[in-house]
Chain A
Amino acid sequence: MLRYLCRRLIFGLPTLFGISLIIFVVLRVLPGDPLVAMFGAEGFRKLAPGDRARIMSDLGLSDPLPIQYVRWMKDIATGSLGRSFFRGDRVSELILHRGPLTVEIGLLSVLISWIVGLPVGITSAVRPGGLVDGVARSLSVLFLAVPGFWLGMLIVLASLFWFHYKAPLVVVHVWEDPWANFQLVIGPAVVLGLGQGAYIARMTRSCLLEVVHEDYVRTARAKGLAEQLVVIRHALPNALLPVVTVSGVLMGFVLGGSVAVEQAFGVPGLGTALVKAIVERDIVVVQNLVLLYGVIFLMVNILVDLSYAWLDPRIHYE
């Protein structure tokens, strides 16, 4: 198991290298002048060529590309990740300050998706074609189509309309003020959780229906076990594996979706920081944050693979 983990991590390194290279190529080599974005088209024209060159070299953008890349790698190795163009703060500080909010939102949303998705999937699999099944499936099809950020906007609007309530919009960590922190993260977590929950419910239903035809389920029924026990103790554990996979695959949905959903709720998490940096064309911040999202996604996929062995003793990794 440990050996497998090591091997996966080592195989992950070239992928990581590829990820960083693609980010670098996309942000540096493709056309588009950062100065135009920083000063606007008009301001850019007013700048003297000398000033342009000076600002570019101050920003470290006039060096040859390989040197820029090596410098970025060095920044990553030292852990400082470089500094923002505009405010001069370290990117690592930005991540440590805002990251916890986004992590909380992500974890909470996965929890919510399981709390909602599993029971719904199980009840609709128990009586396929029944009323509960019909309603649950229609709802899950609907939730797959509703964009999370729009649902978020509606929730913000509704709570403002009917309860005159607005969540606090400054960074509050859970260790500072748990209640304020909870109000901050619960909205995005519910929206993202429901979106994932729809997939979880779908997957649970179809996997359970498949497992229910297995011999051991018939045996369990034949020995007179209560139907609830048959489903929960015998059928469900064997149906869970693909559900876990789906949950891992959905991390891409959570990571990407959280950017837009945070924006909709106005939560000052990592996603909001990324959007701001992209609008300001703060290349150093963007490249590091995009890399971070890629790394997290990669790690989650490795974790999901490892969880197979834990959930299914038949699977061994040498």
Chain B
Amino acid sequence: MRGWTRESTMSEEAGVGTSRRRAVWREIGVFAGRNRVSAAGGAVALLIVLVALGAPLAAPENPLKTDFRRLARPPDGANYFGTDQVGRDTLSRVIYGARTSIFVAVAAVVLGTTVGSLWGLASGYLGGRFDLISQRLMEVLQSFPDLILAMAISMAIGTGMGAVIVAIAVTRVPFGGRVIRSMALSVKEQAYIEASRSTGASHVRIMALHVLPQCLASYLVLATTHLGVAVVIEAALGFLGVGVPPPTPTWGNMLADSLTSLVPHWWLVLFPGLAITVTVLAFNLFGDGIRDTLDPRVYAGVLRAMAGSRRGPTR
């Protein structure tokens, strides 16, 4: 953490005038040089996000267009990933699926981590009865396996994209809450908090201006490391029939659809699953790199273990 801030001030000094933009690029360059595997993961993740955003441009066909002359064809020159039982182009559905799956995952992680972090911040800083009750609530939320809690919530508030986002977000709340609470607990003992308190600053002001900035690094780590999990939960919900409802193509829905024929066609199983795996892998690798760079509380053992390898988190 200290290394990170020192670095950014250095590069800001260097990049006076022409721009902060160059400083940002240098920052990315330093990160990539130190964490090559993770930078590759980040690049792949970026590519997937770009493809998802530009789905109408990237997809060869309309993902909902059925073609009854080409039902359940294996991959060939016309449809690189084959077609499904009602003649829809699998490649286009995988590309459009990225759109739904990644949007849901990102929205859910941002929502859940933000709510959890703010809650944890308040609970750690304010302490007292509020903290006690919050702790118990988080404990209860964490006593459910992720997928099962998400299934129950998604079932209860009706299937739709919003419901799925909320369902996944709720499972992320306790993680944010726990980590940020412990940060807030240690920060609030600092002398500068006492100082601003003595100048008459309100609790809200102190939380927003003095405690919150200290938690940003942990927040970023939390958000990036949970993206992969969120993608998997989204896919599992779709696979189990409680995700974003069909005909919207999502990777989970496509896998569930493949089971409607007696013997599933291999291309209908392989490609959506590969898409999930590659995306989760990319997000995980990127998240690991962010954690190694930003998280001051990585296990000593992990640090030492990594010192032997190329992607050492410290200099």
| A297 nearest in chain B by CB position | B143
**Is B47 engaged at the interface, CB distance under 8 Å to the other chain?**
no
Indicate which residue in A19, A145, A160, A294 contacts B280 across the interface (CB closer than 8 Å). Answer: A145
Residue contact B147 to A260, C-beta cutoff 8 Å: yes
Q: Which residues of B contact A161 (CB under 8 A)?
A: 266
* B residues contacting the other copy or chain, number (CB 8 A): 50
Residue contact A281 to B273, C-beta cutoff 8 Å: no
| A289 nearest in chain B by CB position | B148
Residue contact A149 to B304, C-beta cutoff 8 Å: no
**Residue-wise interface mask of A (280-291) relative to B, using a CB-CB cutoff of 8 A (1 in contact, 0 not):** 010000100010
Residue contact B155 to A281, C-beta cutoff 8 Å: yes
**Residue-wise interface mask of A (1-22) relative to B, using a CB-CB cutoff of 8 A (1 in contact, 0 not):** 0000000000000110011001
**Is B230 engaged at the interface, CB distance under 8 Å to the other chain?**
no
Q: Which residues of B contact A209 (CB under 8 A)?
A: 301, 304-305
Residue contact A255 to B148, C-beta cutoff 8 Å: yes
Q: Which residues of A contact B153 (CB under 8 A)?
A: 26, 30
**Is A207 engaged at the interface, CB distance under 8 Å to the other chain?**
yes
Q: Which residues of B contact A154 (CB under 8 A)?
A: 269-270, 273
Residue contact A31 to B266, C-beta cutoff 8 Å: no
Knowing A145-B277, A147-B277, A157-B266 are in contact, say whether A256-B147 is a contact too (CB < 8 A).
yes
Q: Which residues of B contact A293 (CB under 8 A)?
A: 144-145, 148
Residue contact B304 to A252, C-beta cutoff 8 Å: no
Residue contact A206 to B151, C-beta cutoff 8 Å: no
Shortest distance from the beta carbon of B136 to any chain A beta carbon, whole Å = 6
Interface of B, helix, strand, loop or mixed by DSSP: helix
Indicate which residue in B151, B270, B276, B299 contacts A259 across the interface (CB closer than 8 Å). Answer: B151
Residue contact B152 to A286, C-beta cutoff 8 Å: yes
Knowing A32-B156, A149-B239 are in contact, say whether A18-B136 is a contact too (CB < 8 A).
yes
**Is A98 engaged at the interface, CB distance under 8 Å to the other chain?**
no
In the assembly, what is the distance between CA of A277 and CA of B137, in Å? 27
**Is A311 engaged at the interface, CB distance under 8 Å to the other chain?**
no
**Is B86 engaged at the interface, CB distance under 8 Å to the other chain?**
no
Shortest distance from the beta carbon of A148 to any chain B beta carbon, whole Å = 9
Shortest distance from the beta carbon of B5 to any chain A beta carbon, whole Å = 27
Interface of A, helix, strand, loop or mixed by DSSP: helix
Residue contact A150 to B140, C-beta cutoff 8 Å: no
Q: Which residues of B contact A275 (CB under 8 A)?
A: 151, 240-241
**Is A213 engaged at the interface, CB distance under 8 Å to the other chain?**
yes
In the assembly, what is the distance between CA of A145 and CA of B44, in Å? 14
Residue contact B277 to A150, C-beta cutoff 8 Å: yes
Q: Give the top 6 A-B pairs by smallest Cβ distance, nearest first.
A: A210-B301, A256-B145, A256-B147, A150-B273, A18-B140, A145-B281
Residues of chain A touching chain B, judged by Cβ–Cβ distance below 8 Å, are: 14-15, 18-19, 22-23, 26-27, 30-32, 128-129, 141-142, 144-147, 149-150, 153-154, 157, 160-161, 205-207, 209-210, 213, 251-253, 255-257, 259-260, 263-264, 274-275, 278-279, 281, 286, 290, 293-294, 297-298, 301
A-B contacts, 26 listed (Cβ < 8 Å): A18-B136, A19-B144, A22-B141, A30-B153, A32-B158, A128-B308, A129-B308, A141-B284, A145-B228, A145-B280, A150-B276, A153-B269, A157-B264, A206-B301, A210-B301, A251-B145, A256-B146, A259-B240, A274-B148, A275-B151, A278-B152, A278-B240, A286-B152, A290-B152, A293-B144, A294-B143
